[in-house]
Structure 1
């Protein structure tokens, strides 16, 4: 495993840090403490981490325009006014299901949003993956326990996802104009036998997939053909999701968590829950804006 220059981007400790999204227009990283019901933001140019309380469990965010964001939560989609912080319900997804909450989500290059749900106690098969585009919602995948690693190739012709309980990374052919699947899932990488579990991912401009390996303290890079080509150490056992940040999308921010750790485990992992900056030169790309 490669050692890398890693610094703490934010020392705010998240119970379950997740869903990092970078807005290049404001040079701001947003992320969530899912179990703490908090939205965090930090301008990369400096300043303290801003922590905002949320009305429910929320886990992911997409930029609509310069004044509004689309938030993914346990009741579905909500719109956040960036100026006032006001959050307004927009479109329900599993709002009548008290067992589930939102989890991983990411925007397809065409502006569609893939959204994962899961049981609040990771109940087997309780979750699903949905497609949202211009006001329409469809269920794409059912019987999912922990949906993760939702991400897309730069040209939008491929989608990736995993069920962390299965620990197999899948690839799906996609319509680049709509972000809808056009074929059956295929195994991209079988993680069985490896330490840790597949968590959040992003795909760079060269088609390399960068995945946070929960429980193994690293970020793995996979070639477009599905070969693991790099493993970069992270100073926390439970990294949860990477995001490309900076004016050139050429660095990686990584969230982490202390979820499930007892006092001894937390003592042995003192940076658990903090958010890191990996000093790795990457050819990243910015998240597209979501089309509502």
Structure 2
């Protein structure tokens, strides 16, 4: 295994690495810095776009461009012009909330959770944006939404409320895009201060979670037991995604914000984009938004 700093971009809150298999490009965001980034598999051809608000997540569209979850709603983004257009705000008037992490299911629906900005109240929900641009609420009573992803069959949806200390699993109705039967998939070992952030599922059906503040990437077996732990050289890692031509490079985002000032400063490359090689594991291709 080899861990490298792919690009030392020093994002304030790097998040949401996304490998697009059609374009063979890696995308990621700076949530607080209000930017979208793109590069090649090896970090070349770096491009950045500014967006008008805090950004929680993004997905590539089948029709071109991207769909974004900005603080105040779902938006389309045109890569050529840089223009951003509001689709729908599912939480009008809820100024203590913002949209956060999201991914696309195998039917092209963008599933995004919101979060309480103060990370205290259970004010947040999970929403589904369909290709016809209608929005549906899937669950609520959440503090900070993170880590949405699906099993290889698409029939199990994984999700985390970061401060709950747990990863959850739901039954996912592929035809309806509905969730049911929420249960605890795994309980985090937070003895080193780690909490659940971004997640992905590999080709073997194992769930990977980035535990922010303790720098651990934890691989969970389908039964929820810990299979493997990768210790990163920085503590403030945020999310992860397999990419590259063979989907065998694990990309990891990090942040430079000192949200936990009592922690020691990371010795290198806070906010950088990392690439992990030679894990012997492949990921799954991400789907594009159908609208």
Q: TM-score range by the shorter chain?
A: over 0.9
Q: Deviations over 1:73-95 (max 9, x none)?
A: 11211111122222111222224
Does 2:159 match 1:178?
no
**Counterpart among 117, 120, 127 of residue 120 in structure 1:** 117
CA distance in 2, matches of 1:265, 1:75: 33
Which residue matches 2:160? 162
With normalisation by structure 1, the TM-score equals 0.92
Equivalent residues in 2 for 1:1-292, closer than 5 Å: 4-65=1-62, 67-134=64-131, 135-181=133-179, 183-191=180-188, 193-195=190-192, 196-259=194-257, 260-262=259-261, 265-266=264-265, 268-279=266-277, 280-292=279-291
CA distance in 2, matches of 1:105, 1:42: 20
Q: Deviations over 1:140-181 (max 9, x none)?
A: 221211111211011111001111111111111111223311
Report how far residue 211 of structure 1 moved.
Answer: 0.8
Report how far residue 193 of structure 1 moved.
Answer: 4.8
Q: 1:282 to 1:66 in 2, by over 3 A?
A: farther
SS at match of 1:165: helix
Report how far residue 192 of structure 1 moved.
Answer: 5.1
CA distance in 1, matches of 2:190, 2:71: 32
CA distance in 2, matches of 1:67, 1:45: 23
Q: 1:141 to 1:24 in 2, by over 3 A?
A: same
Kept in 2, the 8 Å contact 1:19–1:31? The answer is yes
Q: 1:193 to 1:34 in 2, by over 3 A?
A: closer
Q: Deviations over 1:47-88 (max 9, x none)?
A: 253232210111211111262211111121111112222211
Aligned length, in residue pairs: 287
Deviates more, 1:89-98 or 1:231-240: 89-98
Q: Deviations over 1:232-266 (max 9, x none)?
A: 12111011110111112111100011331549833
SS at match of 2:223: coil
Structure 2 unaligned blocks of 5 or more: none
SS at match of 2:271: coil
Aligned-pair RMSD on alpha carbons? 1.8
